[in-house]
Amino acid sequence: MNRWIQVLLQIVIVVAVPIVLVVMPVRLLMHPRYVWLEYGKPDFAPDPLGFTREERTRLAIIGVESIVGPRGGVVLQEARLPDGSPAFNQREVDHMQDVRVVTANIYVAQVVMLIAAALAAFALVRAGPKSAAPTAMLTGASGTLVLLVALVALVLVGFDTFFTAFHRVFFTGETWLFDFTDTLIRLYPPQFWFDAATVIGVTTIVEAVVLGIAAWWWGRSVH
């Protein structure tokens, strides 16, 4: 195998690893079960404006369904408060549609990178040096650990900075800014996002450690 082709295939694997690993826990959290778990915590702050836990849970699940469910923003438009008024205003509906698009793009990117990495690893195993594929996987796992340790530290030390930077990267303008009385803010307070970011970071670190160990063992076995 040509040296440059080998390097290119290894780069594909190194780049793919953190994307695949980070998006995996995101997929797991984009489910009603995470809402149930989060609201079930004894220290989860109640809604200061009066949503009951049951009402809050119902609407929060509707929010998740608007992102990953088949009907999209329609479920938000149909949602009602106990007095019959719309649960979400148009700005909130528009923002969640943006979140739906970003999420779909991230999911597609994960699948594309997973397939690309698998093909690259297959090509390296068939025609490249025996250690090329596991070396790339180990490098990707190590790079993921460095990135995620930094991310978890940022979340723990300066969550507001992380949260703002995240939204400025993935969303244009200030469509993600809401009043404290808006439903989305009441359903998903900072604690909700802090916990989610921590779970994603810690889970990805565990994934990277497991992958790194497997790649290291694979590399040793082919020498």
The arithmetic mean of pLDDT across residues 103-107, rounded, is: 95
Q: 92 Cβ partners below 8 Å, 6+ apart?
A: 76, 178, 182, 183, 184
Per-residue b/e over 144-176, b at no fewer than 16 CB within 10 Å? bbebbeebbeebeeebeebbeeeeeeebeeeeb
pLDDT at 223: 65
Is there a contact between 20 and 144 (Cβ–Cβ < 8 Å)?
A: no
6: Cα within 13 Å, side-chain hemisphere: 15
Looking at every residue in the chain, the average pLDDT score rounds to: 90
pLDDT band at 166 (very low <50, low <70, confident <90, very high): confident
User: Could you tell me the residue ranges of all domains in the chain?
Assistant: 3-221
Q: 199 Cβ partners below 8 Å, 6+ apart?
A: 25, 29
The arithmetic mean of pLDDT across residues 44-51, rounded, is: 90
pLDDT band at 216 (very low <50, low <70, confident <90, very high): very high
Question: What SS3 class is residue 81?
Answer: coil
pLDDT at 28: 92
Does pLDDT of 164 surpass 80? no
- pLDDT digit string (tens) for 122-146? 999 998 788 999 999 999 999 999 9
- pLDDT digit string (tens) for 9-24? 999 999 999 999 999 9
- Start-end of H helices in the chain: 3-29, 32-39, 53-68, 74-78, 90-127, 132-157, 159-170, 183-187, 190-221
pTM (two decimals): 0.87
Does pLDDT of 176 surpass 90? no
Does pLDDT of 69 surpass 90? yes
Does pLDDT of 36 surpass 70? yes
pLDDT at 93: 93
Backbone angles phi, psi at 192, to 5 degrees: -60, -45
Does pLDDT of 104 surpass 90? yes
Query: What is the rounded end-to-end Cα distance, in angstroms, of the chain?
Result: 18
pLDDT at 201: 86
Distance CA 125, CA 131 (A): 8
